[in-house]
């Protein structure tokens, strides 16, 4: 199964979804991108050995078994998950990190419970501000730093899921079995896998994965002075035709997906003449909050030649993709129109 993925590193496993598999609204669990900072267990943890604890600035520490969680009413939410570094390799100026093209993104239906319910049960103290997540995966490398991340309390209380199902299946081992956080509409780094410990904090968690990475900063700046990457930028990707595809003159279906994190997609426009003119694409397929929207533009390709095709999305808050991405040292959030243009040959 991993064969179909584009594997960037084996240890830790970092693999992206080939463009052709981004054409369906639901991304198959097997083909969903995999992004890891550490090493996950070879075998799934035994559910009888697993508990989820909630501690920190709460009045009532709690510990739950998997059954305790399963017994609660199940919530199912669509959510497009994207790695902060997705599209990094398409930046005109190189940035360090995994060389994602556009496949560090996927859409799934996540089944689980609202984090809010558990936090309320644990009774938050007045000084509660952030919620940190810790997984069971082991750090790789000499530094031995665990992947621990925290999100603001408002996000934890409003739209964060603890998911044990992915597309109707038990959460696959590689995607965090048995439980992961899904901060709806936020980048992957906020969605800790193999979750077993939640700590309510008075301020953001301090550590490597909060302060040195997942921050927007420029050369010479202290990473910690930069903004933490949270919400997903408005963006559209072209999934059909393929990059450099040879197509015959006539009617050509240009298709793609657009997403904007917590916002919805208002419109997508397509240009086949280097940005001189833009035509509205048709929004197609399911429309769900936090999930990408697929789109289609039928193009009458009359003249032979090479064409650059570009797509431009606008979200429901009026944010529009920039002409070119705003660069940062770690290459996060590349949503540039130019960076995502494709070339096709009409023959
Ligand atoms: N425990 C743990 N959770 C993690 C990570 C990790 O390395 N360890 N990687 C994060 C990052 S950077 C991303 S993009 C997503 C990827 O989720 P996926 O592998 O299910 O696609 O998981 C996040 N959760
Ligand atoms: Mo990520």
Starting from the CA of residue 40, give the closest ligand. Answer: 1
pLDDT digits over 252-294, tens only? Answer: 999 999 999 999 999 999 999 999 999 999 999 999 999 999 9
Q: Is the peptide bond before 12 cis (omega within 30 degrees of 0)?
A: yes
Distance CA 18, CA 4 (A): 7
Taking residues 158-165, what's their average pLDDT? 98
Alpha carbons 343 and 310: distance in angstroms, whole number: 9
Residues 100 and 163 in one domain: yes
The residue range of the domain holding 332 is 235-346
- On whether both 123 and 34 belong to a single domain, the answer is yes
Pair (224, 250) in one structural domain: no
pLDDT of 170 > 70? The answer is yes
In this structure, is the dihedral angle defined by the CA atoms of residues 245, 246, 248 and 250, taken in order, positive or negative? Answer: positive
Domain end: 191, 210, 228, which one? Answer: 228
Is 337 found in the same domain as 216?
A: no
d(CA 269, CA 203): 41
Co-location of 219 and 244 in the same domain = no
Q: Which of the ligands is closest to the CA of residue 84?
A: 2
CA distance 201 to 152: 9
Q: What is the mean pLDDT of residues 100-123?
A: 98
Q: Same domain, yes or no, for 295 and 150?
A: no
Q: Tell whether 125 and 263 lie within a shared domain.
A: no
Residue 2 has pLDDT above 70, yes or no: no
CB 253 within 8 A of CB 238: no
Do residues 50 and 93 share a domain?
A: yes
Strands 195-201 and 51-56: parallel
Q: Which ligand is nearest to the CA of 134?
A: 1
The preferred substitution site among 17, 191, 208 for testing ligand 1, maximizing ligand atoms within 8 Å of CB, is 191
Nearest atom (ligand 1) to Cα of 12: 7
Tens digits of residue pLDDT in 211-242: 999 999 999 999 999 999 999 999 999 999 99
Residue having the nearest C-alpha atom to atom 19 of ligand 1: 34
Provide the CATH number for the domain around residue 52: 3.90.420.10
Q: What is the tally of structural domains in the chain? A: 2
Decide which of 228, 259, 274 is a domain's last residue.
Answer: 228
Query: For the chain, how are helix, strand and coil distributed in percent, rounded to 5?
Result: 15, 40, 45
CA–CA separation, 139 vs 305, rounded Å?
51
Q: pLDDT above 70 covers what percent of the chain?
A: 99
Whether 61 and 144 share a structural domain: yes
* pLDDT band at residue 141 using 50, 70 and 90 as cut-offs: confident
Same domain, 43 and 173: yes
**pTM across the whole model:** 0.97
pLDDT in tens, 305-340: 999 999 999 999 999 999 999 999 999 999 999 999
Q: Are 237 and 336 within 8 A, CB to CB?
A: no
Distance 96 CA to ligand 2 centre (A): 13
Atom of ligand 1 nearest to the CA of 106: 21
- Of 68, 72, 101, 73, the C-alpha closest to 331 is 101
Residue-level pLDDT at 95: 97
Cβ atoms of 249 and 304 within 8 Å: the answer is yes
Domain boundary among 228, 252, 284: 228
Would you say 135 and 194 are in contact if contact means Cβ atoms under 8 Å apart?
A: yes
Q: How far apart are CA 139 and CA 148, in angstroms?
A: 11
The secondary structure of residue 303, as a DSSP letter, is S
Q: Whose CA is nearest to atom 10 of ligand 1?
A: 189
Measure 41 CA to ligand 1 centroid, in angstroms. Answer: 14
Asked whether residue 339 falls in the same domain as residue 211, the answer is no
pLDDT above 80: residue 3:
no
CATH number at 337 reads 2.60.40.650
* Average pLDDT score, the chain: 97
**pLDDT digit string, tens, across residues 210-219:** 999 999 999 9
In angstroms, the CA 243 to CA 71 distance is 47
Q: What's the start-to-end Cα distance of the chain, in Å?
A: 35
pLDDT beyond 60 at 1: no
Who lines ligand 1 at CB under 6 A?
Answer: 32-38, 81, 83, 135, 137, 147, 175, 188-189, 191-194
108 lies in the same domain as 244 = no
Q: Where are the alpha helices (DSSP H) in 252-321?
A: none
d(CA 12, CA 170): 22
CA of 337 to the centre of ligand 1 (A): 26
pLDDT score, position 143: 77
């Amino acid at each position: 199964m991993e064969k179909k993925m584009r594997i960037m590193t084996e240890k830790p496993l970092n693999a992206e979804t080939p463009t052709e598999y981004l054409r369906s609204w639901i991304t198959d669990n097997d083909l969903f991108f995999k992004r890891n900072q550490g090493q996950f267990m070879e075998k799934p943890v035994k559910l009888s050995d697993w508990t989820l604890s909630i501690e920190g600035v709460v009045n009532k520490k709690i510990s739950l078994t998997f059954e305790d969680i399963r017994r609660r009413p199940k919530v199912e939410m669509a959510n497009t998950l994207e790695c902060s570094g997705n599209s990094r390799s398409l930046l005109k100026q190189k940035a360090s990190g995994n060389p994602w093209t556009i496949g560090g993104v996927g859409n799934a239906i996540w089944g689980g419970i609202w984090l809010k319910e558990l936090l309320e049960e644990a009774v938050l103290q007045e000084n509660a501000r952030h919620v940190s997540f810790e997984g069971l995966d082991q750090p790789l490398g000499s530094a031995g730093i665990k992947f621990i991340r925290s999100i603001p309390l408002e996000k934890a209380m409003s739209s964060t899921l603890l998911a044990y199902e992915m597309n109707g299946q038990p959460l696959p081992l590689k995607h965090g079995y048995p439980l992961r956080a899904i901060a709806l509409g936020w980048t992957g780094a906020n969605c800790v896998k193999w979750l077993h410990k939640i700590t309510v904090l008075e301020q953001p968690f301090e550590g490597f994965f909060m302060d040195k990475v997942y921050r927007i900063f420029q050369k010479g700046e202290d990473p910690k002075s930069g903004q933490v990457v949270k919400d997903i930028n408005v963006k559209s990707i072209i999934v059909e035709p393929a990059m450099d595809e040879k197509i015959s003159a006539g009617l050509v279906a240009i298709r793609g997906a657009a997403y904007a994190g917590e916002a919805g997609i208002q419109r997508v426009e397509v240009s086949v003449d280097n940005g001189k003119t833009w035509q509205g694409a048709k929004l197609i397929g399911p429309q769900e909050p936090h999930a990408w929207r697929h789109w289609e533009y039928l193009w009458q390709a009359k003249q032979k030649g090479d064409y650059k095709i570009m797509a431009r999305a606008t979200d429901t808050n009026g944010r529009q993709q920039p002409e070119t991405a705003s660069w940062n040292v770690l290459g996060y959030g590349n949503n540039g129109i130019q960076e995502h243009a494709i070339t096709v040959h009409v023959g």
